[in-house]
């Protein structure tokens, strides 16, 4: 269904010679194809636009090296720039700030994005790889059986879960989690929240209050890797209101192109901490910018 | 003088408006071009432009806007499928409530025996809708449950059996084979069942929805679509591309997390929201 960028550009550049520098016109022609490739991969339009402008500047006038065709040259410039943008300059990208116990981690995102599953995956990872004592708490009083879901995942991972007290609101549960984490000598506590729309004023205000109670060291925005153009709205609103420190992209085991990765990175400026690749609780990987860049470009 | 001349630059802007609504580049270009036909070079104001664009979108969608068909067959088996987290279980809860409200007797089968607390979630929806939910232990074979549920629905003389399934990504061959088996086993009981296979799509999803429809349709003979989460800012424009390519009926849309938040699919309303005709201009 999708045509990779190389194939797109090979057609465009068949007519061109191998010599000289990339002219402005060559670059413009190529970038029209790049734009389509990015949009087909679900990169949000304004993000694609900015990206193209940046590449345009870099590519124009660049000498076409003898060994490559202009098409390959443009692909390389685009690929390098995309990888660099996805990577950012945050040296700590793949690490969570969980040093001063009990370190709170707040999980937020749209409905069904994968927050509860990812909460359990991160808890498992911190427990097994970093030897942390972890507590998980469900603040989801909306979705039917959300608390039971996290409870079951706690049993499967062997991670402690804050006992369910019916009738408590999310802010009260956050307080109780903080207290339990402090008293119980936990290194980290994860707060799983209900899915919410970024335009739901009431629920957004509620999660702000939760943030103010917990003062999270990490606030992770959990985003479906299959997200389309709405990614830019989601990132803007969640980051603007709550202040995210990182992103987790889920469902990257699918055949989606993952353009949301670039949108998230561009809008929030925050690192993509993890990529989730399945329903199993060990399906959580570190983020590899070059891999995602290749995937977005269909290469 | 008011308005602007419809020229190449404006055509570009219109394409971008449609692309931002997840229509995809190809379909967006086609829709914008169709709208421009007979109007190119003319002066139009914002409302005229958006109305024309919305009319074009609605024209494509009108033939696929069809409610879930109800047959005389008892029980009518409705299988609900889709990728993870798209809204299958919630949609079943809403649908059960609507059907019951319309005087139908409904049974639900909790065919997601995989996800943690999927059964508990559906039981709560069953309670809310006032509809019995058949369950099997976690990890048991969903095809056997579907088979048994058909037996029960028959014995109870239920009008409709709604079968939930675990979320699965369409590129997971093993999980798609499991779904194929569910369909096969259902057909052992009634060769015409499932009478409807609903694919639940999340409006937030971008172009991957095309691959979802393509593969689910081939494996599970999808007969209709439901799009959820249209209460957000996602416009669901991929439905236009889907209507164009597959022509599958769109039965309903999800517009919230409450039991009444399932609405008929209205092409005109949808097109107005997609083009921004319904909001300030
Ligand atoms: N294939 C796949 N499925 C995933 C992944 N992460 C989560 N899921 C599935 O996606 C569905 C939703 O996941 P949840 O963790 O319940 O999502 P949530 O964000 O907590 O949902 P709400 O609480 O309802 O907002 C479940 O079926 C999960 O098993 C992933 O990386 N890949
Ligand atoms: N805002 C909004 N949320 C919805 C809508 N439909 C479902 N949801 C929410 O989306 C999340 C996932 O819904 P589910 O019904 O559990 O989705 P599912 O497809 O059954 O998920 P899995 O079984 O894990 O694959 C829940 O938090 C629902 O409340 C809708 O139309 N609008
Ligand atoms: K919407
Ligand atoms: Mg959850
Ligand atoms: Mg479900």
Q: Give the residue ranges of DSSP H helices in A184-282.
A: 201-214, 231-241, 260-268
User: Any bridge partners for residue A276, and if so which?
Assistant: A284
Ligand 1 within 6 A of CB of A119: no
Evaluate if residue B159 carries a pLDDT over 80.
yes
Whether residue B280 is predicted with pLDDT greater than 50 in this model: the reply is: no
User: What residue in B sits closest to A112 (Cα-Cα)?
Assistant: B85
Res A214: pLDDT: 98
Is residue B265 within 8 A of residue B253, CB to CB? The reply is: yes
Q: How many CB atoms are closer than 10 A to CB A244?
A: 24
pLDDT at A9: 75
Taking phi over 0 as left and psi of -120 to 50 as alpha, with beta for the rest, B156 belongs to alpha
Q: What is the pLDDT of residues A29-79, one digit of tens each?
A: 889 989 999 999 999 999 999 999 999 988 888 877 766 777 788 888 999
For the stretch B194-219, pLDDT in tens is 999 999 999 999 999 999 999 999 99
Q: 10-residue block means of pLDDT along chain A (299 residues)?
A: 71 62 82 93 97 91 75 87 90 82 98 98 97 98 98 98 97 98 98 98 98 98 98 98 97 96 96 97 96 92
Task: Return the ligand number nearest the Cα of B167.
Answer: 2
How confident is the model over B183-192, as pLDDT tens digits? Answer: 999 999 999 9
Q: Cα B74 to the chain's mean position, in Å?
A: 24
Ligand 2 centroid to A144 CA: how many Å?
10
Give pLDDT, residue A14.
63
Contact A259 CB / ligand 1 (< 6 Å): no
From residue B173, alpha-carbon distances to A251, A268, A295, B176, B179 in Å are 15, 35, 20, 5, 10
Helix axes B208-220, B173-189, angle to 10 degrees: 40
Quick check: helix, strand or coil at residue A63?
A: strand
Cα-to-centroid distance, A121 and ligand 4 (Å): 13
Which tens digit of pLDDT belongs to each residue from B86-119?
999 999 999 999 999 999 999 999 999 999 999 9
**Residues pairing with A117 in the sheet:** none
B126: nearest CA in chain A? Answer: A144
Q: How many other C-beta atoms are found inside a 10 Å radius of the C-beta of residue B210?
A: 19
Between B150 and A74, where is the model more confident? Answer: B150
Q: Is A298 on the interface with B (CB under 8 A)?
A: no
Beta bridge partners, A275, equal A249, A285
Write the pLDDT tens digit of every residue in B39-96.
Answer: 999 999 989 999 999 999 999 999 999 999 998 889 999 999 999 999 999 999 999 9
B171 interface with A at CB cutoff 8 Å = yes
**Whether A3 contacts chain B with CB within 8 A:** no
CA gap A145, A140 in Å, rounded: 9
Residues of chain B with pLDDT > 70: what percent? 99
Residue with tokens 């202009």: A70
Q: Check residue B281 and give its pLDDT.
A: 40
- Among the atoms of ligand 2, which is closest to the Cα of residue B232? 1
Span from the CA of A111 to the centroid of ligand 2 (angstroms): 6
Rounded CA separation B40/B5 (Å): 8
In the block, tokens 């194939």 appear at A7
- Binned at pLDDT 50, 70 and 90, residue B1 comes out as low
- Determine contact: B258 vs chain A, CB below 8 A: no
Nearest-by-CA chain A residue for B231: A197
B232 CB near a chain A CB, below 8 Å? yes
ipTM value of the model? Answer: 0.97
| B232·A229 Cβ contact <8 A | no
State whether A226 and B114 contact (CB < 8 Å): no
Tell me which residue of A56, A50, A1, A48 sits closest to A31, measured CA to CA. A56
Provide the pLDDT for residue B80.
Answer: 98
Kindly report the CA angle at B59 between B57 and B63, in degrees rounded to 5?
A: 120
DSSP-derived secondary structure letter, A68: S
Is the full-model pTM beyond 0.90? yes
Contact between A112 and B86 using a beta-carbon 8 Å cutoff: yes
Span B117-133, pLDDT tens digits: 999 999 999 999 999 99
Q: What is the DSSP string of A267-288?
A: HH---EEEEE--SSTT-EEE--
- Nearest residue, CB atoms, B25 vs list A40, A227, A233: A40
């Amino acid at each position: 269904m999708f045509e990779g960028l190389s194939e797109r550009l090979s057609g465009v550049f068949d007519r061109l010679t191998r010599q000289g520098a990339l002219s402005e016109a060559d670059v413009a022609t190529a970038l029209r194809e790049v734009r389509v490739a990015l949009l087909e991969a679900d990169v949000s339009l304004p993000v694609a636009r900015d990206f193209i402008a940046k590449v345009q500047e870099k590519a124009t006038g660049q000498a076409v090296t003898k060994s490559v065709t202009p098409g390959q040259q443009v692909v390389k410039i685009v690929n390098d720039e995309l990888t660099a943008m996805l990577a950012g300059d945050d040296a700590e990208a793949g690490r969570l700030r969980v040093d001063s116990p009990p370190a709170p981690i707040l999980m937020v995102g749209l409905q069904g994005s994968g927050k509860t599953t990812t909460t359990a995956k991160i808890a498992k990872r911190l427990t097994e790889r970093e030897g942390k004592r972890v507590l998980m708490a469900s603040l989801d009083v909306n979705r039917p059986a959300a608390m039971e879901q996290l409870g079951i995942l706690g049993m499967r991972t062997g991670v402690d879960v804050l006992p369910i007290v019916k009738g408590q609101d999310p802010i009260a549960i956050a307080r109780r989690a903080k207290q339990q984490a402090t008293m119980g000598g936990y290194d980290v506590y994860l707060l799983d929240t209900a899915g919410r729309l970024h335009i739901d004023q009431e629920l957004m205000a509620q999660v702000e209050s939760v943030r103010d109670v917990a003062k999270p060291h990490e606030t992770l925005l959990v985003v479906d890797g299959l997200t389309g153009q709405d990614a830019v709205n989601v990132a803007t609103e969640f980051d603007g209101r709550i202040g995210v420190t990182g992103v987790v992209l889920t469902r990257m085991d699918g055949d989606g192109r993952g353009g949301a990765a670039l949108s998230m990175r561009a809008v929030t400026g925050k690192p993509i901490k993890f990529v989730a690749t399945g329903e199993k609780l060990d399906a959580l990987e570190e983020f590899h910018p070059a891999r995602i860049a290749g995937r977005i470009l269909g290469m | 003088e008011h308005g602007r001349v419809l020229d190449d630059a404006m055509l570009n802007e219109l394409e971008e408006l449609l692309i931002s609504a997840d229509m995809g580049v190809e379909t967006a270009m086609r829709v914008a071009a169709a709208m421009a036909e007979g109007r190119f070079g003319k002066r139009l104001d914002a409302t005229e432009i958006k109305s024309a664009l919305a009319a074009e979108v609605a024209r494509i969608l009108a033939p696929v806007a069809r409610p879930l068909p109800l047959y005389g067959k008892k029980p009518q088996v409705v299988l609900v499928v889709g990728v993870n987290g798209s809204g299958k279980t919630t949609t079943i809860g809403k649908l059960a409530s609507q059907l019951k409200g319309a005087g139908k007797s409904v049974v639900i089968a909790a065919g997601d025996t995989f996800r943690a607390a999927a059964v508990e979630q559906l039981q709560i929806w069953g309670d809310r809708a006032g509809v019995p939910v058949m369950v099997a232990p976690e990890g048991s074979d969903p095809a056997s449950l579907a088979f048994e549920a058909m037996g029960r629905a028959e014995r109870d003389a239920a009008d409709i059996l709604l079968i939930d399934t675990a979320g699965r990504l369409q590129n997971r061959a093993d999980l798609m084979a499991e779904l194929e088996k569910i369909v096969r086993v259902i057909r052992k009981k009634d060769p015409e069942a499932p009478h409807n296979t609903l694919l639940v799509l999340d409006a937030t999803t971008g172009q991957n929805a095309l691959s979802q429809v393509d593969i689910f349709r081939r494996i599970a003979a999808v007969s209709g679509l439901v799009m959820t989460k249209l209460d957000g800012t996602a416009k669901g424009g991929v439905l236009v591309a889907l209507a164009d390519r597959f022509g599958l009926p769109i039965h309903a849309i999800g517009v919230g997390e409450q039991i009444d938040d399932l609405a008929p699919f209205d092409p005109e309303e949808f097109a107005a929201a997609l083009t921004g005709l319904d909001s300030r201009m």
